[in-house]
Structure 1
Amino acid sequence: MIDLTSEMAALWSALGPAPARGGRMVLIVSALSGEGASTVSREYARLAAVRARRPVWLIDADLDQPGQQEAVAAAPDRFGTLSRPAFASPDGSCFFDVHPPAKSRDGRIVPPARLLTARSCLGGRLWVSRFAAEAIRVGQRVEASPDPAYWNALRPHAEIVVVDCPAAERSDTALVLAPLADAVVLVVAAESTGADEASALRQEIEAVGGRIAGVVLNRTAWKPPGFLSRLTG
């Protein structure tokens, strides 16, 4: 396993303290699949949970391939034991829509929020969400919603809400949620991703009103000349 503790500590310092009231929402995304955005999200959430005064939430926004709860459960030495599932919405709102709506066996419409659960670890300091992708049937689609209601409801219960978004190449979730976040962090595997791809994602996020707050170079110590300046300049 790659230890990202020092990188996450630097990111924690760069983002600064959370606001006194309401939690900060930090969205983490990469341009391409396999760059390690989920690992960075998970490790940052873990470090934040250890340092924060209030609980930290890790929202798995990959609605097609959720996997954060499984990854946390596979590392009990780092995260401890997961609690029993609980509903992940404080007020019944949700950050995604299901079309057509999901239905129960008796034909009743299932509110989207009922498909989102969370389990705690690290003594209740970290909550990790999971979308029930297995409940979606052929012909249904799930899409992130631009409605801020869910995030507004969750913020008072967290110091930091870390949102793990699927790669931009296969989903527009990051572009939908970026305007709602306080900060967006790009994850780049510099040995396999060109600066043009990452720069294009930055421009797309900024075009919709997102604020790029940092870049994490994952799985490499090599920094090509001019690479970081093209991303952060």
Structure 2
Amino acid sequence: MFMSAREGEGTSSVAASFALMAARKSQKSAWLIDLDLRRNAMFAAFEAGFARDAGEPGRAFDASLKTDPPYSLTPKGLERGSANAENKLLTVHEIKGTRLLVSRFRNEELKRGQRVQLRTQPGWWKTVRRAADWVIVDAPALSRSPAGLAMASQMDGVVIVLEADSTDAEELIGLRREIEAHGGRVIGVVMNRMGADARFADRLAG
């Protein structure tokens, strides 16, 4: 999982770049999961042509993998669909010309006032690991959402992304402590020096 302390660090761009690299080295696929379910910024970025060497997202496939999904809805019940339709709101799309899969949450199926919340679901993550060679998770900045912390215990490792010459050491140490306190393991730090271009996906989320 890639995560930052605050917005604008370029986390989504770093995660997408790593995912594309992993997809090129995969025999099955690399799966890029966006934890910001309401914004779907990663899907939107690829749809807008974020990566020059990759196509647009293809058709949608059910990402529930016949397990309980890593989210819950309140209140329960959808306006249309079968009784288990709310378990199939997360889809996955193959990026044309690659072995990369990108997630999308179907917000258009929610009722007015209905909320979606991430939940720890070890069984789902275990199934995802079997389905792909690599699973790359893009978490929203901690300053905007605790989603990354909620999922930290399910990750093999967490990489902190920070903008070089901008984020101070105290913020980095604070985020690392938060991740570890939630059962996560920090395995590295990316010092992002790519400037505005590296924040393209993050800007789409805004």
After TM superposition, the score normalised by the length of structure 1 is 0.76
Partner residue of 1:87 out of 36, 47, 62: 62
Q: Which runs of 5+ in 1 are unaligned?
A: 1-26, 222-233
Q: CA deviation at 1:162?
A: 0.6
Aligned to 2:78: 103
The answer to whether 1:78 aligns with 2:50 is no
Partner residue of 1:149 out of 123, 129, 134: 123
Aligned partner of residue 78 in structure 1, secondary structure = coil
Contact residue 87 and residue 118 of structure 1 kept, 8 A? yes
The answer to whether 1:64 aligns with 2:38 is yes
- Identity, % of aligned pairs? 39
Contact residue 54 and residue 98 of structure 2 kept, 8 A? no
The answer to whether 1:211 aligns with 2:190 is no
Partner residue of 1:115 out of 89, 108, 113: 89
Partner residue of 2:114 out of 140, 143, 163: 140
Q: Which amino acid aligns with 1:175?
A: L
Q: CA deviation at 1:44?
A: 0.6
Q: Which amino acid aligns with 2:69?
A: C
Q: CA deviation at 1:138?
A: 4.3
Q: CA deviation at 1:149?
A: 1.6
Q: Are residues 170 and 154 of structure 1, via their aligned partners in 2, closer, same or farther at CA, if it must alter by over 3 Å? A: same
Contact residue 55 and residue 126 of structure 1 kept, 8 A? yes
Report matched runs for 1:186-205 at 5 Å. 186-205=160-179
Q: Which amino acid aligns with 1:209?
A: G
- C-alpha distance in structure 2 between counterparts of 1:87 and 1:184, whole Å: 26
- C-alpha distance in structure 2 between counterparts of 1:176 and 1:188, whole Å: 20
Q: Are residues 45 and 220 of structure 1, via their aligned partners in 2, closer, same or farther at CA, if it must alter by over 3 Å? A: closer
The answer to whether 1:125 aligns with 2:125 is no
Aligned partner of residue 137 in structure 2, secondary structure = strand
Q: CA deviation at 1:36?
A: 1.0
- C-alpha distance in structure 1 between counterparts of 2:128 and 2:52, whole Å: 28
Q: Which amino acid aligns with 1:153?
A: T
Aligned to 2:4: 30
Aligned to 2:139: 165
The answer to whether 1:49 aligns with 2:23 is yes
Superposed CA RMSD: 2.0
Q: Which amino acid aligns with 2:171?
A: E
Q: Which structure has more RCO (C-alpha within 8 Å, separation ≥ 6)? A: 2
- C-alpha distance in structure 2 between counterparts of 1:211 and 1:109, whole Å: 37
Q: Which runs of 5+ in 2 are unaligned?
A: 196-206
Structure 1 stretch displaced more, 68-77 or 148-157: 68-77
After TM superposition, the score normalised by the length of structure 2 is 0.85
Q: Are residues 205 and 160 of structure 1, via their aligned partners in 2, closer, same or farther at CA, if it must alter by over 3 Å? A: same
Greater gyration radius: 1
Q: CA deviation at 1:110?
A: 5.1
CA deviations on 1:116-152 (whole Å, 9 max, x unpaired) are: 1111025451100011234334433221111212111
Q: Which amino acid aligns with 1:206?
A: E
Contact residue 78 and residue 111 of structure 2 kept, 8 A? no
Q: How many residues align?
A: 194
Q: Are residues 192 and 64 of structure 1, via their aligned partners in 2, closer, same or farther at CA, if it must alter by over 3 Å? A: farther
